[in-house]
Structure 1
Amino acid sequence: MGDVVSSHLDEGRREMITARTRDAMKEFGDVYEQQYAVALFNSVRYEIEGGGGTQSQLLHRKDPLAGRSIFSGNLFQYLEENRKWRNRFVSVPNSYNINLYESKTAHDRGLHPKVTINCAGYKALASMEEYMELINNSLPGIKAKVGNHPFIKCATQFPLILWHPYAHHHYFCVMTEKEHKKWHAVLQDCVRHSNNAGLSEDCTVQTPAFTDSVRLHRQAKGHYGTWDMMCGEPPQILANLVMETLHPELRNVIGPRLKGKLQQRQRNWMLISDAVYKQVLSQTTGQYEALVEACEAQKSPLDARLRTDMDQIITSKEHVNSKIRALVLPKAEQLLRTSVQPYISSILEALMEPTSRGFSEVRDVFFRELVEISKNSINGGGKDKLGEHMERLSMLAFHPVKMQSCYEKVEELNLEGLQQRFDVSNPSVFISRAQILMREQMDNAVYTFEQLLNQSLEAQGEENMVKTIQRCQDRVLKKYDYDSSTVRKKFFREALLQIIIPYMLQQLSPSCSPELPRFKELIFEDFSRFLLVENMFEEVVLQSVTKDIMMAVKEAAVQRRHNLYRDSIILTNSDPNLHLLGETPGVDWAAKFGGEEPDGSVEAEERGSGRRRKQVVSMIQLDGFTLPYESCLEVPGVELIPEEDAEACKEEDQEDEEEEELGLHEDPKSPDSVNEIRDLINPVVEVVLPVTEEGKSDVTNGTEQTGGTIVMEDGVQEEVTHVTTVVDDRPRKSLRDKTSPQTILKQLVGSKKQEVDKEEAAIKNAIEEIEIAVREDDGERVAEEPAAESDGESSPPPVPHSRSRDDSGFQSPTNEGPDDGELQPITNGLNGADKVVDPAEVEVILA
């Protein structure tokens, strides 16, 4: 594969890519330096003048994922170098990067992962059909046939694919549908978080400077409207910015030169695209860091000048704004009346319907979790159970599987018919933003409930727990309803501006932009770094449409169709005591109530530190379970992946115990099991009973419990506890019945009786010979008639055949067999007690 990349990306072409990236970064850098000063001016002005706005009713957690990891488990990864599947242990820490390890042992030992995936810009696909639809559009001028097969053969029917328009693709698969849903939700959450984690809203200078610079840079290239590759860290976004124009050019040049079948050409182009992206990303990373460092070095003198001349700068800006407004406002209002106002309500309705359903689902999920906690209290679950429930609740917002139903509501957002008119490339920008806001609101509600409940428990104790939970629940839900309304209205306004403003700028720029340079003469040179006519032109356009957008959102709130509060309802500082709780640290519920680690928070040790991290999502993996596939794989069997089911664990343990009882483990072991120890303490009597082919089906291997005693040959009574049956395939004489321990005992007594009869008969014959000899010699002795001749057989208590019997096969003459016709009772008491047990109830361990 390296030959394919090197042959199409020779030294000359790599130098061309380097030059194009350097030129793009130079253009972006010039814009960024200008926008950095403007953003600093806006930040200082906001700090001095203060900003209004409604206050959030819910508390905000500062670092919700501290000491947490998201998920870990086993996946099968496709290795492109040998086109095989390999089992990998995957860990998702709180950074949401995906770390792939050779095995769980490597992860636990703190070794570096073999692969680390930053999911910014990716899409998490759950089927090969989705993937092939994207792949078949990767090369121009090539139309793939319907049902065209991919260049990889998935090992199972549950694939998971991370697709990127420029970077390397990653292929995984799992064994069960349950795993598939859970892993897909986790991967989607990794993508969602990585896409939105690069630009922090807390950076009041760098973030607006960067976003405005990217937007202005794209507008200079003729790209207005939303951009769905505004994903990840700034260097990644800049790499996407360069690739936006470079990638199509290289594809048109290199694509026709690729050789081989369609699948091979697609694969080769992906390798080439990934190599180009890596080269561009390495350049943008270094150059952006240098650019930010240079701007930060000038921040202090610029800040000092701003604070000194703030009044004069504001006055100068208002004067220039009035001049630009006189030029732009008539044209903007005309465009607004004819091409924008008729569509505002339609855009707003398309945004509101799925977004409101999503926020309503957040409320329902939160409410259901609180109901479970109340049920636990009613049923007397105790403090340990309450601690477990609260531990799970604390991470509810970051549980991708539990939040999936909320996210799916927003994914129904559809701007079809409006995208072409307003140049909205993809609604994913708004979907992702709404989902992030939903997660924030869920965490705020959970954190507020935690603080209120903890405060109530400390003040009132644990009596009337259900009422305490109910009061805290009602209080939090009211605050959530208000904050949810506020957040949604702000989201709707921002989304409408993101859709409408680029369209208006695109329509007004041809006529207004040539007039803007003359306004620069009205700005003092000392203030020229903070006042840019391009920014003031956009502000005028923004002001022209803001009134209509605000009215549309206000009318929607008055209708109350989507549970929006009216703007007249303001709850500022309605609960000042609550916000004092926001300064207190989070509650460690497991430590507070002494509860064990809940099922949804499996602990995994963090590499490089002594801390232990709690996992948000439970693993689908049994403790100690090791997949046999530690090397490259063929298609694995479904039965090799364990399910997340405690019953399955119990059944497996029971099977192991049964195997130990039956002696199926061939390797010698120490007597660890109960059965082995019992065998050492209690004597074991071995008796082989024949079974015919007809009766073999009625006899099965197994052990049954019973009660009784048996007299050993040394006269000691031993208690019988178990009878174990082992079936031998060798042909034996048939038994009439061998389906119960009672029948086994009867056979045991009968066979023992026959052996005793033979021994007794031999003894009798010897006695007779001695008596005859005595009569012949003395003639005085009278032969006795043996009792056996008249009665048949004597019947003393039976003694089983033991391991310590004499090698000759004979036993003492006193051990006479029982009578054939009747089973004699056997004593079952301790120390020779007279307790009598029916012999049919006595059972013997058969090994």
Structure 2
Amino acid sequence: MGDVLSTHLDDARRQHIAEKTGKILTEFGRFYEDQYGVVLFNSMRHEIEGTGLPQAQLLWRKVPLDERIIFSGNLFQYQEDNKKWRNRFSLVPHNYGLVLYENKVAYERQVPPRAVINSAGYKILTSVDQYLELVGNSLPGTTSKSGTAPILKCPTQFPLILWHPSARHYYFCMMTEAEQDKWQAVLQDCIRHCNNGIPEDSKVEGPAFTDAIRMYRQSKELYGTWEMLCGNEVQILSNLVMEELGPELKAELAPRLKGKPQERQRQWIQISDAVYRMVYEQAKAHFEAVLSKLQLARPAMEATIRTDMDQIITSKEHLASKIRAFILPKAEVCVRNHVQPYIPSILEALMVPTSQGFTEVRDVFFKEVTDMNLNVINEGGADKLGEYMEKLSQLAYHPLKMQSCYEKMEPLRLDGLQQRFDVSSTSVFKQRAQIHMREQMDNAVYTFETLLHQELGKGPTKEELCKSIQRILERVLKKYDYDSSSVRKRFFREALLQITIPFLLKKLAPTCKSELPRFQELIFEDFARFILVENTYEEVVLQTVMKDILQAVKEAAVQRKHNLYRDSMVMHNSDPNLHLLAEGAPIDWGEEYGGSGGDGGSPSIPEAATHSEKRRRAKQVVSVVQDEEAGLPFEAGPEPPSPASQDSVTELRGLLARDLRAESPPPAGPLLNGAPSQESPQPAAAPEASSPPTSPLRQLPPGKAADLELPKPSDQETGEQVSSPGGRPPIHTTTEDSAGVQTEF
């Protein structure tokens, strides 16, 4: 297959791709520089004026709970190079990058992994037919005829395929439906997390980037949501380039591909992945250069803003009044006729599954705490508390226990409305709501932990402890009800804006956009970096629909079925002392209340190892899910050498049929002071960054991933995991060292 790339991606074509990519990136760079100044001004104004969100009642973790393993087990992976299925020991660390090792022995010996997969932008497919349909749609005219061999043969009925519109695909299979469901939940959690790769604590760079993406696409008359706004900045830029470059290459190269339909499909997948990796490397260099340039200019820009804040505000308000006088009559008619009648329907479609999901979060939290309380009563009080609290502390990051909450969002549909408002997919709203669910669950758990830890300082008896747990649970649930109501109402407002504003801009563009340049003369040259006519125009359009959105959400809060608080019900930090408790060091339940011995399930650690080395090693080998689940029905074994001509599917079926002795998966949770905890905590959920009131049009805020960096191969391409620059997860590409070790990033 190597000659496919050399044939279709020769030097001349690679040069053309590089030039086309450079042109797109340069054009985007101008939008990013423009938006950077606007967002910087809005951010500084927001800090000075002090407008923000209501005070949250629940606490949030300030220290990330990293270096933990979320899940580990075995997967059969299809190797495209030799067309064989191989058993891989797989694990998902705290950064949600799927890591594949040759086998468990290789992992324990710290051999570099075979692959590290960042799943941003991927979709999970659970059948080969689904996959073949997508592949066929991606390359028209290559539908396989009946009776011909498909592009992929899975040896079991339970495949999991990671599909990406541009990057390479990954093929896995399981022995049972239960294993398929388990891995699907885990991998979906990986995708959900990696899709939200822009850190929310970036109050300028992140919002400026997403605004620039939106403005760039609108300049190409592409309005509405964009499904590929996922991953870190470089991944999103790569997707942006491929959105333009992909169709051009497909039209040019597809007729030249040779062979049977399935062979042409394979060739196109390989070509697309190679181009995607080329684009990624170029986008990475370009973005880092532009960002560095802006960060160097930022101090001077901040000095100007501080000095001239009042004049900039006055100039902007004058510009807005002129644009408002011109645009308001047209915008109000458009809102009244094309948007206002549909707001209740959109809101209802969003509210029903979202409210069900948050109710399920509440129920799961209540059940877990109640079960823990019963176990404490039955098993000796505080002696077992450390074990159960360590387990509870990672509840929000347990893919299987949270799955029932996430599934409530799956029925979300905008039937009819989706086409009308040019919503490419509802996945962006589903994933954002699911991330809010995880954050609220973790906040509830952490608040419960903090209050219980304070209560334990009083030395309660077993009976007093159980009563205290119940009392604290009720206290936390009241706080959860208030916070979840605030979070949902904010989510509904953001979603309605994201759906309606692009629609309005598209409707108004033919009559309004051509008139905007004449307003440029109203901006002083000294303030041109902080005030843009296009942004001010969008803010005026937003104001015309905002009052209808706020009114709709306010009326929805009155409906008891959605469990929303009325806006008049405000809890102004009703428990001020509680926030003081969170200022202390993180609670280590295993260290303070755990036992002194392990259960023998963890891999042995050499006696010569230091205590710190033992803890580091323990954190590397534990898994949060496997502890409570049955062992996998198959386990990694030595890979028998087989000739390339042997049918790999037949070989694998024989391998699966063998009576392999299953090796127990590692116990969940790190070994803390010699006692194994049950689950592994995850990175802290920071409070949602307050965005300036003048920038609500950007993509729904990405999830918190500021410190979650995926492993990346070293420059020597040995497969060693090293940090990528800037804390951004690397993209999927493949290198191979002299020993043939393949590393994907």
TM over 0.5: yes
1:547 aligns with 547
- What is aligned with 1:616? 624
Change over 3 Å in CA distance of 1:596–1:279 after alignment to 2:
farther
Aligned mates of 1:113, 1:175 — CA distance in 2: 23
Matched residue, 1:345 = 344
Query: CA shift at 1:127, angstroms?
Result: 2.0
Equivalent runs, 1:187-206 vs 2, <5 Å: 187-196=187-196, 198-206=197-205
% of aligned pairs identical?
Answer: 59
The aligned counterpart of 2:115 is 115
| Aligned match of 1:482 | 482
> 2:546 and 2:198 mapped to 1: Cα distance?
25
- Counterpart of 1:767? none
Deviation at 1:527, TM superposition (A): 0.7
Cα separation, partners in 2 of 1:596 and 1:443, compared to 1, 3 Å: farther
**Counterpart contact for 2:158–2:177, Cα < 8 Å:** yes
Counterpart code for 1:615: S
Residue aligning to 1:634: 652
Superimposed CA distance per residue, residues 408-454 of structure 1 (whole angstroms, 9 cap, x where no aligned partner) = 11011111211110000000010111111110011001100000111
Q: 2:400 matched to which residue of 1?
A: 401
1:47, distance to aligned residue in structure 2 (A)? 1.2
How far the C-alpha of 1:616 sits from its partner, in A, is 2.3
Distance apart, 1:631 and its partner CA = 5.2
Cα offset for 1:641?
6.3
Deviation at 1:33, TM superposition (A): 0.7
**SS in structure 2 at match of 1:367:** helix
| Counterpart position of 1:246 | 245
Q: Is residue 2:527 matched to residue 1:527?
A: yes
Counterpart residue type for residue 487 of structure 1? V
**Shift in Å, 1:481:** 0.7
TM-fit CA distance, 1:177: 2.8
**Residue equivalent to 1:322:** 321
Contact 1:158 1:173 in 2 (8 A): yes
What's 1:595 paired with?
595
Q: Is this contact kept in 2: 1:392–1:598, CA < 8 A? A: no
Deviation, 1:600, is 14
- Mapped partners of 2:514, 2:95: distance in 1: 46
**Inter-partner Cα distance in structure 1 for 2:260 and 2:473:** 62
Distance in 1, matches of 2:87 and 2:119, equals 21
The answer to whether the 8 Å contact 2:634/2:662 transfers is no
Q: CA deviation at 1:48?
A: 1.2
Provide closer, same or farther for how the CA distance between residues 124 and 599 of structure 1 changes in structure 2, counting only shifts above 3 A: farther
Q: CA contact under 8 A between 1:601 and 1:618: conserved in structure 2?
A: no
CA distance in 2 between counterparts of 1:393 and 1:630 reads: 42
Aligned to 2:507: 507
Question: Do 1:98 and 1:118's aligned partners in 2 also have CA atoms closer than 8 Å?
Answer: yes
Contact residue 485 and residue 565 of structure 2 kept, 8 A = yes
Taking the aligned partners of 1:487 and 1:602, their CA distance within structure 2 comes to 40
- 1:66 corresponds to: 66
Q: Is 1:299 aligned to residue 281 of structure 2? A: no
On the 8 A contact 1:140/1:252 being kept in 2, the answer is no
Q: Closer, same or farther in 2 for the Cα pair 1:642/1:564, shift >3 Å?
A: farther
Name the SS of the counterpart of 1:615 in structure 2. coil
Q: 1:192 offset after TM fit, Å?
A: 0.6
Aligned to 1:568: 568
Compared with structure 1, are the counterparts of its residues 106 and 574 closer, same or farther at alpha carbon in structure 2 (3 Å cutoff)? same
Cα distance in 2, alignment partners of residues 338 and 599 from structure 1: 67
- d(CA) in 2 for partners of 1:624 and 1:417? 46
Cα-Cα RMSD? 2.4
- CA shift, 1:514, in A, is 1.5
Aligned to 2:176: 176
- Output the amino acid matched with 2:656: G
Q: Secondary structure at the match of 1:74?
A: strand
Q: Which has the larger radius of gyration?
A: 1
Structure 2 CA distance for aligned equivalents of residues 600 and 185 of structure 1: 28
Q: Spell out, residue by residue over 1:643-682, the C-alpha distance to the aligned partner (whole angstroms, 9 max, x if none).
A: 7999xxxxxxxxxxxxxxxxxxxxxxxxxxxxxxxxxxxx
The 10-residue stretch of structure 1 (451-460 or 274-283) with the greater mean CA deviation from structure 2: 451-460
Deviations 1:300-341 (A, max 9, x none): 011011101101110111111100001111111000010001
Matches within 5 A, 1:729-744: none
One-letter code aligned to 1:250: L
SS of equivalent to 2:100: strand
Structure-to-structure mapping, 1:255-270, within 5 angstroms: 255-270=254-269
TM (norm. structure 2) is 0.83
The unaligned stretches of length 5 or more in structure 2 are 606-611, 643-650, 666-745
- Kept in 2, the 8 Å contact 1:621–1:642? The answer is no
Residues 384, 594 of structure 2: 8 Å contact kept: no
Contact 1:423 1:503 in 2 (8 A): yes
| Alpha-carbon displacement from aligned partner over 1:492-522 (angstroms, at most 9, x marks no partner) | 0000000000000011122111111111111
Q: Counterparts of 1:600 and 1:487 in 2: how far apart (Å)?
A: 43
Cα 1:342/1:641, change in 2 over 3 Å: farther
- Distance in 1 between residues matched to 2:638 and 2:113, nearest whole Å: 21
Distance 1:623 1:152 in 2: 23
> CA 1:143/1:217 → structure 2, altered by over 3 Å: closer, same or farther?
same
Distance 2:449 2:193 in 1: 24
Match of 1:287, as an amino acid? H
Q: TM-score, normalised by structure 1?
A: 0.73
In the alignment, is the contact (CA less than 8 A) between 2:143 and 2:261 conserved in 1? no
Question: Structure 1 residues 225 and 601, CA, compared in 2 at 3 Å: closer, same or farther?
Answer: farther
Distance 1:518 1:601 in 2: 73
Shift of 1:602: 6.6
Q: Is this contact kept in 1: 2:223–2:422, CA < 8 A? A: yes
Change (3 A) 1:49 1:602: farther
Aligned twin of 2:312 = 313
Give the residue type in structure 2 aligned to 1:634. Answer: L
Question: 1: CA distance between counterparts of 2:248 and 2:614?
Answer: 45
